[in-house]
Structure 1
Amino acid sequence: MPEITTPYVPGTPCWIDLSAPDQQAALDFYRDLFGWQGEIGPPEFGGYASCELHGKSVAGIMSAQPMGDQPPPPTAWTTYFATPDADSTARAITENGGTVMFPPDDIGTLGGMAIAADPNGAVFGIWQAKDFPGAGIANEHGAMIWSELSTRDPDRARAFYPAALGIDIGPMEIPGVEGMENYFGVKAGDRTVGGMAVQGEDSPEVPSHWLTYFAVDDADSTVDALIKAGGNVMRPPSDMPAGRMAVVQDPQGAVFAVITPRPL
């Protein structure tokens, strides 16, 4: 079991959470799809639910409710990147053309977080760990395995993320695979932790975004189960260089990907 036992390197995707109109329905859906266990949390944390797999935290699910005079957040998964200092990272985001949507705030003794958008509009979070380091399991069935930025302005993204988050974006090379000119690797330290895909002109309505990938043992059977539970398929299972993957929506509209990794 690939448990996370060391602190996350700054710039690494360390946590994901979902904002959904019907929090309990989302908890039920992902329990049945991935085997997660979670329940609505205490009122002092807004009912935030931390979902577990094999007794380890893997993701959060919260209710998409209006905050003050603001509309409710969109039904979407958010990727959080590890940072040693949320305040300085928030300043770097702003100084390099990004937007801090929710400024750094302490979540009890767990850590500090903020929500931001890059210059192209892709939303992400940052997490400064204290008592809670982030996801305790990755890269196995039902857990996050990959984070992917989809953008039409790769040059702007390649300038922003190294300066704001300290991550590098460069050519992606997979042995024996050609035609990766429009796909880039995202590195934190010396490890590739995600990717960047260049959007084509055939989907002008799709904004820049970060896409969460979950590892699954069988992409086809997982998609079948999702359909039976009321989800939608945006990109049916197909074979890719990294494995067999699909892009889907849960019943409330949150988009994510599933992938059965290709054996290395």
Structure 2
Amino acid sequence: MTTKTSYAQGTPCWVDLQTSDQGAARAFYSGVFGWEYVEQPMPDGPVYAMAQLGGRNAAAIAPQNPEQAAAGVPPMWNTYLAVDDVDATTARVAGAGGVVAMEPFDVMEAGRMSFVADPSGAFVGLWQAGEHIGAQVANEPGALTWNELVTSDPDAAHPFYDKLLGLKAVSTPMGPDDSYTIFQVGDQQVGGSTPPQMEGVPNHWNVWFSVASADEAAARITELGGSLLVEPTDMPVGRMVVARDPQGAMFNLLQPGEQQDA
């Protein structure tokens, strides 16, 4: 179990879901993860539903904005990276090869953020904490446990994160014939990167939530109207599931190796 009080620059610190049916999504994820919600009004009217575990912020669920819905953008999970100064960092995005999709703005007293795309087209939020540091809980069932850049062009994307945030990409062996890219802040492993595993999937940041049992969580997902893109499967680090919620957003589950059933 991990309770978080701060995040070093470059560390994935928060995830939220933008969805076409906020009420249905809230019910689905509550059934899968046991989340409870605290409603935070947003300046333009909609409610930002803060998902909590034991009174600690774990993630959030928000409605899609009308422009996204009209454009046919599918529901999706967003990843946010911690930054010390969002204005200064965002100002360096173009020089590092990225694109600023949303200029920095204040989120009331919670913090200040921007949204950018890396050179391979993957979007990510940049978050400068105010009253809201990001996730207050990690690495326990129902909480965020890993964030992963899925990119078809790592040679362009990885240096972008290094130039912008000091996020180092390090190749790590995964079994006798494979390797995996780990993102590090200093000597801390904070995320990873992998090529797309399925055809037609755009470059994006993946979110992984911890579960006590991948098989039990997979069964709940299907019972609640979601679908499984990858059935429970053993990996070197544990047992994983790739799922889609009833509105179409993809997410991942990991049962860490030490928690696997005998």
TM-score by length of 2: 0.92
On the 8 A contact 1:245/1:257 being kept in 2, the answer is yes
Worse-superposed segment, 189-198 or 219-228:
189-198
- The equivalent of 1:127 in structure 2 is 127
Amino acid aligned to 1:35: G
Distance 1:74 1:199, change over 3 A: closer
On the 8 A contact 2:74/2:248 being kept in 1, the answer is no
SS at match of 2:66: coil
Amino acid aligned to 1:63: P
Give the Cα–Cα distance (whole angstroms) in 2 for the partners of residues 147 and 220 of structure 1: 21
Give the deviation of 1:44 after TM superposition. Answer: 2.6
Q: In the TM superposition, what are the counterparts of 1:47-58 in structure 2 within 5 Å?
A: 47-58=47-58
Amino acid aligned to 2:20: P
Worse-superposed segment, 34-43 or 245-254:
34-43
Give the Cα–Cα distance (whole angstroms) in 1 for the partners of residues 217 and 82 of structure 2: 29
Give the deviation of 1:188 after TM superposition. Answer: 1.6
- The equivalent of 1:218 in structure 2 is 213
Sequence identity percentage: 39
Give the Cα–Cα distance (whole angstroms) in 2 for the partners of residues 101 and 257 of structure 1: 26
Measured on the aligned residues, the alpha-carbon RMSD in Å equals: 1.9
On the 8 A contact 2:20/2:69 being kept in 1, the answer is no
Of 195, 199, 203 in structure 2, the residue corresponding to residue 198 of structure 1 is 195
- The equivalent of 1:115 in structure 2 is 115
Matched, 1:11 2:6: no
Q: In the TM superposition, what are the counterparts of 1:56-135 in structure 2 within 5 Å?
A: 56-67=56-67, 71=71, 74-135=74-135
Give the Cα–Cα distance (whole angstroms) in 1 for the partners of residues 117 and 181 of structure 2: 20
SS at match of 1:212: strand
Deviating beyond 3 angstroms after TM superposition, the runs of 4 or more aligned structure 1 residues are 67-74
Matched, 1:156 2:153: no
Give the deviation of 1:43 after TM superposition. Answer: 4.7
Distance 1:32 1:69, change over 3 A: closer
Query: What 5-or-longer segments of structure 2 have no aligned partner?
Result: none
On the 8 A contact 1:65/1:73 being kept in 2, the answer is no
Q: What is the number of equivalent residue pairs in this alignment?
A: 258
Give the Cα–Cα distance (whole angstroms) in 2 for the partners of residues 158 and 131 of structure 1: 30
Matched, 1:262 2:225: no
- The equivalent of 1:145 in structure 2 is 145
Distance 1:32 1:134, change over 3 A: same
